[in-house]
């Protein structure tokens, strides 16, 4: 018996490398996010200039699970080199990764537009910008550029340099040229090994007007970062940002940047602890590999310490959710880079908030069975011929009311059927080629809006029926919920489905378009008080609850 066991064990050992290979291929290791924070230039001055301050900062990082810090070199104020180097070395000795950061505000010639921004046309600004990045590159091998590396200046100097170009063309060209010469060129002249990250903010519908050109800047930079800030959706000051925006923007930029997309970045502004956690959970659902908490000085202060402490208490839950995120499914939602939304800004965020899962794409989804198109699609000059081919191949095109109205007058759309909505009509289905156009009323996306007084639109019989009809069509392609109110969001993934209740009331709902009508679900993740009810088919979520089922 002993000899037989020995032979069996030896056989196992010989086969072990094959087993290990199979495990690596078929079951990749679960991934949690890397947690990071930024010390602004002012934080470096105010919190890191003494040994006691550095120890306090390290204690905060330990509590928050932070393993990488960014020390900012410039934010209108240039941090002291000795303090930066001492802090850099201190955190490295403590086992943390350390990189630099630059925020391009309040220097050189000030913009004629927003007063903290600068005029990048000015040679004075360009020279100072190059000096800042040379200074940063002398101390760090990686540097992130925070928001505001953009321009809205239309001063006489900019107008003269623009010449016959429109403002959009000039700003795009200007920021790409400045990137090459005064950021990347200047930094690499001092440190050939330096890597530079550009962060794109969450106001993606205005990129094309401010010189943000992700499709051109991403190839230049080593990595990109994404603003996953959400804010209070009832806040007019912060433009009523929907929770879905973080997901839409991150996955849309992923279609542009691919493996260069590094992580998500959010802050505590216009949040309470609950809304702050919304940011963390949605950032996890995006698939972000790293997450930046902006910034130490605010989170450590009494003003926002409640947000930080809440995250610290629930960070392992966020990591658990991040391990489940991946293999996203949804109806492709087409937004060409640098496209203008016209009279429906951020409509795709609102559609996602209706429980209609989207797969954001920056390239026309020709091979898809269905796709969502809004005015932004017209940013593609070949959109109408591509749409004709899509419909002829049997695709289903969900069109916003505004886009349908504009296409109605376009003679290139074949065949020439009426696709305009009638008065009080919520949905219109029109056969086109071998496919179908489904036009939905602009009233439906607005059902996700939150007013200044924290009020939401109440569904009447017409909008309720219209939303149900739209979801019925969506359920032919991807999972959704037919009975959930607006602001309950569905995130289908390869192996499971995440459901998030962003309303202020508890919700019970079921899923459609996945499995059989008798499908029973198992909860694999959930925040407090989320559950699958005893029938196995109904999901119960408290306000701001998130659950993953399979």
Residues 305 and 431 in one domain: no
> Largest alpha-carbon pair distance within the chain?
93
pLDDT in tens, 50-83: 999 999 999 999 999 999 999 999 999 999 999 9
27 falls within a domain: no
Compute the C-alpha angle 339/340/341, nearest 5°: 120
DSSP 33: P
Residues 309 and 377 in one domain: no
What is the predicted pLDDT for the residue at 515?
64
17 falls within a domain: no
Range of the domain at 359: 327-471
67 falls within a domain: yes
- Rounded CA-CA distance 256/216 in Å is 10
Q: Which helix (H) or strand (E) holds 349?
A: helix 347-352
Residues 507 and 550 in one domain: yes
More confident residue, 412 or 149: 149
What is the pLDDT confidence band of residue 22, given thresholds at 50, 70 and 90? very low
- Rounded CA-CA distance 277/314 in Å is 9
Q: List Cβ neighbours of 44 (8 Å cut-off, separation of 6 or more).
A: 71, 72, 79, 80, 83, 84, 87
Say what percent of the chain tops pLDDT 90. Answer: 87
Residues 256 and 349 in one domain: no
The candidate with the shortest Cα–Cα distance to 42, out of 115, 89, 97, 105, is 105
Mean pLDDT over 329-334 rounds to 97
Residues 56 and 187 in one domain: yes
Residues 71 and 133 in one domain: yes
What is the predicted pLDDT for the residue at 415?
72
Domain end, chosen from 324, 348, 381, is at 324
Instruction: Give the least confident one: 2-16, 355-369, 408-422, 426-440.
Output: 2-16
Query: Any idea what the CATH number is for the domain that residue 69 is in?
Result: 3.20.20.80
Residues 299 and 429 in one domain: no
What is the three-class DSSP state of 168? helix
- Rounded CA-CA distance 396/387 in Å is 10
Cα 263 to its chain centre, rounded Å, is 9
13 falls within a domain: no
pLDDT in tens, 389-399: 999 999 999 99
Residues 373 and 267 in one domain: no
Domain end, chosen from 268, 301, 324, is at 324
β-bridge partners, 480: 512
What is the predicted pLDDT for the residue at 535?
87
Residues 264 and 366 in one domain: no
Domain end, chosen from 471, 503, 534, is at 471
Residue 431 vs residues 162, 391, 398, 436: alpha-carbon distances, Å: 46, 9, 12, 4
What is the predicted pLDDT for the residue at 517?
64
25 falls within a domain: no
Our count of domains for the chain comes to 3
Instruction: Give the least confident one: 74-88, 140-154, 481-495, 516-530.
Output: 516-530
pLDDT in tens, 220-242: 999 999 999 999 999 999 999 99
Asked whether 372 and 333 are in contact (CB, 8 A), the reply is: yes
3 falls within a domain: no
What is the pLDDT confidence band of residue 516, given thresholds at 50, 70 and 90? low
What is the predicted pLDDT for the residue at 404?
96
User: Is the pLDDT reported for residue 163 higher than 50?
Assistant: yes
pLDDT in tens, 375-386: 999 999 999 999
What is the predicted pLDDT for the residue at 2?
41
User: Is the pLDDT reported for residue 372 higher than 60?
Assistant: yes
5 falls within a domain: no
Mean pLDDT over 132-159 rounds to 97
Query: Any idea what the CATH number is for the domain that residue 513 is in?
Result: 2.60.40.1180
Residues 506 and 550 in one domain: yes
21 falls within a domain: no
What is the pLDDT confidence band of residue 412, given thresholds at 50, 70 and 90? confident
Say what percent of the chain tops pLDDT 70. Answer: 93
Residues 129 and 263 in one domain: yes
Mean pLDDT over 112-128 rounds to 97
What is the pLDDT confidence band of residue 181, given thresholds at 50, 70 and 90? very high
- Rounded CA-CA distance 358/352 in Å is 6
Q: Is the whole model's pTM more than 0.75, yes or no?
A: yes
- Rounded CA-CA distance 219/37 in Å is 26
257 CB-contact burial (10 Å; exposed 0-12 / middle 13-18 / buried 19+): buried
Residues 66 and 133 in one domain: yes
Mean pLDDT over 476-490 rounds to 97
């Amino acid at each position: 018996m002993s000899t037989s066991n020995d032979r069996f064990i030896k056989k196992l050992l010989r086969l072990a490398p094959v087993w290990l290979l199979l495990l690596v291929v078929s079951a990749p290791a679960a991934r949690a996010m890397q947690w990071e924070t930024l010390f602004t230039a002012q934080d470096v001055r105010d919190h890191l200039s003494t040994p006691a301050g550095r120890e306090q900062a390290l204690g905060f990082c330990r509590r928050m699970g932070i393993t990488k810090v960014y020390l900012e070199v410039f934010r209108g104020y240039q941090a002291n080199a000795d303090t930066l180097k001492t802090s850099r070395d201190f955190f490295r000795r403590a086992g943390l990764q350390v990189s630099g950061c630059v925020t391009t505000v309040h220097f050189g010639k000030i913009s004629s537009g927003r007063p903290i921004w600068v005029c990048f046309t000015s040679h004075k600004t360009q020279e100072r910008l190059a000096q800042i990045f040379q200074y940063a590159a002398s101390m760090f091998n990686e540097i992130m550029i925070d928001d505001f590396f953009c321009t809205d200046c239309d001063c006489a100097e900019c107008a003269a340099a623009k010449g016959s170009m429109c403002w959009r063309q000039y700003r795009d060209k200007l920021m790409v040229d400045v990137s090459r010469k005064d950021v990347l060129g200047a930094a690499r002249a001092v440190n050939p090994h330096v890597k530079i990250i550009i962060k794109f903010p969450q106001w993606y519908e205005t990129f094309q007007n401010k010189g943000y050109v992700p499709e051109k800047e991403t190839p230049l930079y080593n990595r990109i970062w994404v603003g996953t800030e959400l804010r209070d959706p009832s806040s007019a000051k912060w433009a009523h940002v929907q929770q879905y925006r973080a997901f839409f923007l991150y996955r849309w930029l992923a279609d542009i940047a691919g493996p260069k997309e590094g992580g998500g970045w959010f802050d505590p502004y216009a949040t309470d602890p609950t809304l702050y956690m919304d940011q963390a959970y949605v950032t996890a659902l995006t698939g972000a590999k790293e997450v930046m908490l902006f910034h130490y000085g605010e989170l450590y202060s009494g003003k926002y310490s409640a947000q930080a402490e809440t995250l610290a208490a629930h960070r392992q839950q966020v990591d658990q959710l991040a391990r489940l995120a991946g293999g996203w499914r949804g109806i492709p939602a087409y937004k060409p880079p640098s496209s203008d939304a016209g009279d429906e800004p951020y409509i795709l965020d609102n559609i996602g908030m209706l429980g209609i899962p989207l797969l954001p794409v920056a390239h026309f989804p020709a091979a898809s069975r269905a796709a969502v198109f809004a005015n932004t699609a017209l940013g593609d000059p070949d959109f109408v011929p591509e749409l004709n081919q899509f419909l002829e191949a049997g695709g289903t095109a969900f069109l916003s009311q505004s886009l349908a109205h504009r296409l109605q007058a376009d003679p290139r759309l074949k065949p020439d059927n009426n696709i305009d909505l009638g008065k009080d009509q919520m949905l219109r289905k029109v056969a086109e080629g071998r496919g179908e156009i489904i036009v939905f009323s602009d009233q439906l996306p607005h059902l996700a809006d939150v007013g200044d007084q924290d009020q939401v639109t109440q569904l009447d019989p017409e909008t309720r029926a219209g939303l149900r009809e739209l979801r019925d069509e969506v359920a032919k392609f991807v999972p959704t919920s037919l009975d959930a109110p607006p602001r309950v969001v569905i995130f289908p993934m390869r192996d499971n489905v995440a459901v998030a209740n962003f309303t202020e009331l508890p919700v019970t709902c079921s899923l459609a378009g996945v499995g059989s009508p008798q499908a029973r679900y198992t909860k694999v993740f959930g925040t407090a008080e989320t559950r699958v009810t005893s029938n196995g088919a109904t999901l119960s979520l408290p306000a701001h609850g998130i659950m993953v089922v399979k």
